[in-house]
Amino acid sequence: MPKSDNQKLKLLYIRDYLERNSDDRHPVGAQDLINMLGRHGIACERKSIYSDIRALQDFGIDILNRRGANGGYYIASRNFELPELKLLIDAVQSSRFLTEKKSRELIRKLCKECNRYDESLMHRDVVIDRRVKSMNETIYYNVDTIQEAISRGVQITFRYFDWGIDGQRRYRDRDYQASPYGLCQDNENCYLLAHSPRHGVTHYRVDRMTDIVLTKEQRVPCPELTGPRLVEHANQLFQMYSGDRASVKLCFHHSLTNVVIDRFGHDVMLIPDGEDHFTFLVDVAVSPMFLSWVIGFGDKAKIVYPQQVVDACRELAQTAIGQHAAPQTEPN
């Protein structure tokens, strides 16, 4: 490469070196930069390093100079602060809908946003629990394809599968077509909210969708999934299990206040009921998952009304008790 072309890359080399090798604990001296440039075939003097640093500062890069012994230049602020990167990495680690492979790829890219000293610490702290990870490697691209369809306002076709007890995919016996309106997360899973010709307003687990194709057909108009009503619908789909929607009044012990706010948000109105309990009203899809959630808190939670939901909860609890109480025959 001609020398003039190398000179054109000089500022880029300096910026990259400072981003990867400097912080307030590890400043980089002018001679270190001269040596680095020399390895790239760029000869320069100390005076030109000073002018290059000023040019990078004028461009908006936050480079500071520590004077004295062990002094030098360092990047003082970056696109992401270290706590922000750790927060993003934690989110990737815990995300169920990202596969283990994609999680590691994203974490590796995030780690490149910090210097090499912090990067080594970040890699050391990364632990990915394989048990909670999706097995669908295409989910990352599914989300991108769905977002494009939503942006363009067109329908999509796709295949949908269930997991068999042998751990293999069992594809349903037809192709699906839907009008996508939004993506949301619930219980660490990603769901598509859409209008289906068969079921009307419905939802699909994105990690169980494959072969997604954008069609040329415009989305079916769906007021229930437009604007603020999209968020309302997502909030009503408790745990993303289907069921008849109802306004349900519950009574919980004070010790479960955090649980209720985490699940239903700060907008839910908690009304004191005696010294140790409170009641609240929520709109939910009454499903076995919702009822099981209430049952799981034992005598600290109960459904007050409507009566049909109270009865359904009692029946589910009695069925579960009956199953576990039945005598088991030892295999021969």
In a domain, 330, yes or no: no
Distance of CA 280 to the CA centre of its chain: 29
Residue type, 288: P
**Lowest mean pLDDT across 129-143, 267-281, 314-328:** 129-143
Identify the pLDDT of residue 165. 58
Is residue 270 packed enough to be buried (19+ CB in 10 Å), middle (13-18) or exposed (0-12)?
middle
Residues 192, 158 share a domain: yes
Domain boundaries, position 148: 139-236
Identify the pLDDT of residue 122. 64
**240 has a pLDDT exceeding 70:** no
Q: Which residue has the tokens 């500022």?
A: 11
**324 has a pLDDT exceeding 90:** no
* Of 117, 132, 147, the domain-final residue: 132
**36 has a pLDDT exceeding 80:** yes
Question: What is the distance between the alpha carbons of residues 149 and 219, in angstroms, rounded to a whole number?
Answer: 9
Mean of pLDDT values over 11-37? 89
93: CB partners within 8 A, 6+ apart = 103, 107, 126, 127, 128, 129
In a domain, 331, yes or no: no
Within 13 A of 269's CA, how many CA atoms are on the CB side? 5
In a domain, 58, yes or no: yes
In a domain, 183, yes or no: yes
Is residue 238 packed enough to be buried (19+ CB in 10 Å), middle (13-18) or exposed (0-12)?
buried
Identify the pLDDT of residue 299. 86
Identify the pLDDT of residue 321. 74
**Buried residues in 117-155 as b, exposed as e (16+ CB within 10 A):** ebbeebeeebebeeeebbebebbbebbebbeebbeeebb
Tokens of 71: 């002094």
Identify the pLDDT of residue 2. 47
State residue 113 phi and psi, 5-degree precision: -80, -10
* Of 195, 213, 236, the domain-final residue: 236
Identify the pLDDT of residue 154. 95
Residues 229, 146 share a domain: yes
What total of structural domains would you count in the chain? 4
Work out the percent of the chain whose per-residue pLDDT is above 90.
Answer: 18
Residues 245, 232 share a domain: no
**269 has a pLDDT exceeding 70:** yes
Identify the pLDDT of residue 131. 45
Identify the pLDDT of residue 136. 58
Residues 122-171: tens digit of each pLDDT? 654 444 445 445 555 677 788 889 999 999 999 999 999 887 756 678 89
* Of 236, 252, 272, the domain-final residue: 236
Of 265, 187, 206, 207, which Cα lies nearest the Cα of 232?
Answer: 265
Extended beta strands in 172-260, E state: 176-186, 189-196, 200-205, 209-218, 244-253
Residue positions counted in the chain: 332
In angstroms, what CA-CA distances link 108 with 94, 100, 288? 15, 12, 40
Identify the pLDDT of residue 213. 94
Mean of pLDDT values over 90-109? 78
243: CB partners within 8 A, 6+ apart = 285, 286, 287, 288, 290
In a domain, 195, yes or no: yes
Mean pLDDT of the chain: 81
Residues 191-231: tens digit of each pLDDT? 888 999 888 888 898 888 999 999 999 999 988 888 877 87
pTM for the model stands at 0.55
**Lowest mean pLDDT across 20-34, 43-57, 89-103:** 89-103
Question: What is the distance between the alpha carbons of residues 51 and 41, in angstroms, rounded to a whole number?
Answer: 19
Q: Return the DSSP state at 24.
A: T
Would you list the DSSP string of 107-167?
HHHHHTTS-HHHHHHHHHH----GGGSBS-TTHHHHHHHHHHHHHHTEEEEEEEEEE-TTS
Residues 170, 86 share a domain: no
